[in-house]
Amino acid sequence: MTDDTETPEHQEEIPTLASGLAIAFGYADAPETESGTRRRGGPDRFAELRQWEPKTRLGRMVMNGEILSYNQAVSSGLPIREVEIIDALIPNLEEDVLAVNMIQRMTDSGRRVRFNVLCVVGNQDGYVGLSICKGKEVASTIQKAITKAKMSLIPVMRGNGSWESGQGPGRSVPIKVTGRSGSTRVTLMPAPAGKGLVIGDTGRRVLSKAGIEDVWSTTAGQTRTTINFAQATFNALKQLNMTRIGQQDRQRLHITQGEESV
């Protein structure tokens, strides 16, 4: 007698890929975007990942599944020279255009008009980047600023450094830190949970993209300059990464650097 029992079909083995590549090739669902966030007519980065042909050693390692997170890419010591690497490792980055300024200059051939764009990107969970670009057209300059901001991505140090807050992890800065840009100085101080971002609108948009939810701040200098204010806030976050903190203090302040789940 012949055995009529049906054998289960062979299931396709899912390869181990970075989260962005898994989304691009249909192995995972795309992250939900924040309400009110727009792509501003930019290209679909997941479609670009499907057509991506790595040109660097780090890019080939990401494509082959040898590197699965941004921390592993940084620890490899190889330079990040392709923006697709960032899209593959951190697919939930959101961008925000902080300022678009028109610059006019008189030349011998007439009036020349260019645009100055300030952009911030972040995943609201420990990574943020900031850039400023100039160009002849607004749309292409915005896209160039977004790409440059992704290439300048930094991990953000967060913790619970306020004496008013209870024990446990926090979403504030762990210590007092100051950032400068031009004449603008921005000082960030730890705040208890639930206080919110006590800072100007430009600094609030930068910190929210970094994943910081509570902070006290003081400012000095010409704070009406959007570019200097944003860069001073970003430089304060960079200064945190340069601060040496002992292991005991890291545990006491519940410090995390970069994405919490990593």
What is the token pair recorded at 6?
Answer: 């049906």
Residues 150, 121: contact at Cβ < 8 Å? yes
CA separation, residue 89 to residues 18, 75, 149, 206, 230 (Å):
6, 14, 15, 21, 25
Assess contact for 196 and 208: CB atoms under 8 A. no
Give the contacts of 233 (CB within 8 A, at least 6 positions apart). 179, 186, 188, 199, 202, 203, 206, 207
Res 5: pLDDT: 52
Q: Give the number of C-alpha atoms closer than 13 A to the C-alpha of residue 10, restricted to the C-beta side.
A: 2
Long-range contacts of 38-46 (CB under 8 A, 24+ apart): 40/95, 40/97, 40/139, 40/142, 41/139, 42/142, 42/143, 42/146, 43/143, 45/20, 45/84, 45/87, 45/91, 46/20, 46/87, 46/91
pLDDT at 13: 66
Q: What is the pLDDT of residue 34?
A: 56
What is the topology classification, in CATH, of domain 157-257? Ribosomal Protein S5; domain 2 (3.30.230)
Output the six-digit token pair for 42.
Answer: 């930019």
Domain boundaries along the sequence of the chain? 19-89, 94-154, 157-257
Q: Give CATH for domain 94-154.
A: 3.30.160.20
- The pLDDT assigned to 22 comes to 87
- Coil, strand or helix at 12: coil
pLDDT, tens digit only, all 262 positions of the chain: 455 555 455 455 667 888 888 888 887 777 666 544 545 555 677 888 888 999 999 999 999 999 999 999 999 999 999 999 999 999 989 999 999 999 888 887 788 889 999 999 999 999 999 999 999 999 999 999 999 999 999 999 999 988 887 777 888 999 999 999 999 999 999 999 889 999 999 999 999 999 999 999 999 998 889 999 999 999 999 999 998 888 998 888 888 888 764 4
Q: Is 132 helix (H, G, I), strand (E, B) or coil?
A: strand
